[in-house]
Structure 1
Amino acid sequence: MSYVSRANPAKLELHHHLEGAAPPAFIRGLAKEKHMDISGIFDAQGAYKYVDFWDFLKVYEAATSTLQSPEDYARLTRAVLEESAKSGVIYCETFLSPDFCGGRDVGAWREYLLAMREAAEAAERDMGITLRGIVTAIRHFGPDKARQTAVCAAETVGDFIVGFGLAGDETSGAPADFKWSFDCAREAGLHLTAHAGEWGGPESVRAVLADLGVSRVGHGVRAIEDLALVDQLAEQGVVLEVCPGSNVALGVYPSLRKHPIGELYRRGVKVTISTDDPPFFHTTMQAEYAGLHAAFDWDDGVFAEITQTALDAAFCDADTKTKLRKRLETAHD
């Protein structure tokens, strides 16, 4: 069976920002309700508008400013999961930032978390998509705020909050600056990931592995510039959360055909496929699959292998993985 003959295979997504997945119409609606003027972040067609990665961060934070209460985040969670389910996503790990949810106050964070979790549980019942959260420090907010974020993560670790990560501007500070936060999260039993190798070169990937001890790397694609590092990733089984459409939209690579995911996969690196901030990059998980099929002629066998990699690398508990494995087996029969 060829890839194109299966309309919408079941998918797992490991690199996904909840606020960054907010449909533009949803954010415009919130802004109208709150009498906020953020019209400057949209183009004439109503899509998000930015000129480069750093402008993207500003637009992202402007859009997020409309999310001001646990109820707003519950509505967001529902809207985002509806979109993901349309692409056949049955499991998603999303980055959640206490910076945006209660200002890193543990009590307030718990209220936001409860609202998101209840919305996620309803979506799982209604749409068959399972959500788990990775508490994420924002790198350009600095290591002191990251410590507060790590405490929020440690205080709420469980079957819903399963990981801790680092996102934001890779040029801000060094991974070692966040070692305390990652040690705190690790001691609490959280799995670890960090963005690297998107805007930083191979050295940034080496740094998050050596200084933060992560098992997964967000993006990580510029490791291809150092083949010794590529061999290390393959030998150690480090999983890359690759977001091809995001990388092309932001200009890291000129096209999917020029994207290194094909070469990384060929060299034995464990790669997965994600959308990052899908409406910002005009993508979906289904579009990512179609694009990679066209660029590299990947078929059902390759996508099934990558899905299995994502399942093995997922931060959820064993019972959840067992349920997901059964769903995948049923879907592939």
Structure 2
Amino acid sequence: MSLKALPKVELHLHFEGAAPPSFIRGLAQEKSVNLTGVFNEDGSYAFRDFVHFLSVYEAATEVLKTPQDFARLTRAVLEESANHGVVYTETFLSPDFCGGRDLGAWREYLHAIQEEAAACERDMGITLRGIVTPIRHFGPEKAKETALCAAETVGDFLTGFGLAGDEAKGKPKDFDYSFDMAREAGLRLTCHAGEWGGPQSVRDAVRDLRVERIGHGVRAIEDLALVDELAEKGIVLEVCPGSNVALGLYRSFRHHPIEELRKREVKVTVSTDDPPFFHTTMTREYEMLNAAFEWNEDDFKTLNLAAIDAAFCDDATRDRVRKLLEAA
């Protein structure tokens, strides 16, 4: 079984967090930006825990200053994803890092990303869609500015709205205004929860923000009534096992709850989150799931069909990608 060659759908990918370390180091050298503390001696990203990871992530983004930088990032990220069989991917985009939430600047950044994504689709056959995400620990007021950027640029490329960042900061309901604005603009909704915030954070996101997907959501397993609710409502979990293991949430893939969630009929998908930070790829995720739970090609095909069904894209794109998955 060639897991690398299998066509894959990824729904949970942080754009800046997917930047290869060599790409960030190269930009830093071009711009004479000091990134001391961002990298280990072997050139990988350096972080101690989740909170430190967030600070390193934000430090690394300091070299991404212009729309052209983000266009170059688009190609670097999509080349890596396509190399591991990804045919459709959704990425989290933050106007916070693209023009400081200024709508005019955001339009320029978004245009550069979208234009390069279209070129990559022609060159590599990989389709990209964007999900705007306010940064939770930046607070609800800045999230409103981010939501306005999203609402004003919704379209075929920008199709979703979410919430990322430190789950310990505030409650989902603090961001209900932003989510209402995004919903009224026609954007599909997701929210990070159930990673560090526990099962109640998942329940709060579903109830207060009325999302259809949850980023991570794995700690729902600690509340089986919640697990049943997710299954009944068809809420899709964007699960990132390698990320969870790398950050110490679970000891190993074998101890990860994705298999139990799946057995309990929760709709699960698999993604890499911030792959170079966590030393993972979509191929590695599949290999580790195969080793831990003996998932086979049929399991992965079912997984990917569920993912494209849950994707924030138009029906024509969904049908085209589904045909690729079925043909494989």
TM-score bucket of the superposed structures, by smaller chain = over 0.9
How much does 1:301 deviate? Answer: 1.2
**Residue 179 of structure 1: which of 162, 168, 176 is its match?**
176
CA RMSD of aligned residues (A): 0.7
Change (3 A) 1:221 1:229: same
Match of 1:134 in 2: 131
**C-alpha distance in structure 1 between counterparts of 2:96 and 2:38, whole Å:** 21
Distance in 2 separating the partners of 1:23 and 1:312: 29
Equivalent AA in structure 1 for residue 92 of structure 2: F
Q: Which residue of 2 aligns with 1:101?
A: 98
The SS at the match of 1:279 is coil
Q: Distance in 2 between matches of 1:37 and 1:6?
A: 39
- More displaced stretch, 215-224 vs 297-306: 297-306
Moved more, 72-81 or 32-41: 32-41
Shift of 1:6: 5.2
Using the alignment, how far apart are the partners of 2:4 and 2:181 within structure 1?
43
What is the TM-score when the length of structure 1 is the normalising length?
0.98
Which residue among 215, 229, 233 is the counterpart of 2:230?
233
Q: State the alpha-carbon separation in 1 of the partners of residues 205 and 240 from structure 2.
A: 18
CA distance, structure 1, for counterparts of residue 7 and residue 249 of structure 2: 28
Partner in structure 2 of residue 159 of structure 1:
156
Alpha-carbon displacement from aligned partner over 1:171-215 (angstroms, at most 9, x marks no partner): 000100000000000000000000000001100000000000000
Structure 2 residue 251 is matched with structure 1 residue 254: yes
Partner of 1:51: 48
Deviation at 1:325, TM superposition (A): 1.4
TM-aligned CA deviation for residue 5 of structure 1? 4.7
Tell me the number of residue pairs that the alignment of Structure 1 and Structure 2 aligns.
Answer: 328
Q: Does 1:41 align with 2:56?
A: no
1:77 matched residue in structure 2: 74
One of 106, 111, 114 as aligned partner of 1:114: 111
Name the counterpart of 1:288: 285
Selected match of 2:265 from 248, 263, 268: 268
- In structure 2, what is the Cα distance between the partners aligned to 1:103 and 1:44? 32
2:297 to 280, 297, 300: 300
Task: Give me the whole-angstrom Cα distance separating, in 2, the residues matched to 1:64 and 1:299.
Answer: 37
TM-score (structure 2 length as normaliser): 0.99
Please tell me the residue identity of whatever aligns with 2:265: G
CA distance in structure 2 between the partners assigned to 1:255 and 1:200 by the alignment: 20
In structure 1, list runs of 5 or more residues that go unmatched.
none
Alignment equivalent of 1:21, drawn from 18, 21, 37: 18
Structure-2 separation of matches of 1:295 and 1:172: 34
How far apart are the structure 2 equivalents of 1:268 and 1:40?
A: 43
Q: Deviations along 1:59-91, whole A, 9 cap, x unmatched? A: 000001110000000000000000000100000
Structure 2 segments unaligned to the other structure (5+ residues) = none
Q: Which amino acid aligns with 1:237?
A: G
Please report how far the alpha carbon of residue 328 of structure 1 lies from its aligned counterpart in structure 2 after TM superposition. 1.7
Classify the secondary structure of the residue corresponding to 2:308: helix
Q: Would the aligned equivalents of 2:11 and 2:90 in 1 still touch at CA under 8 Å? A: yes
Deviation of 1:329 (Å): 2.4
Pair 1:151–1:298, CA change in 2 (3 A):
same
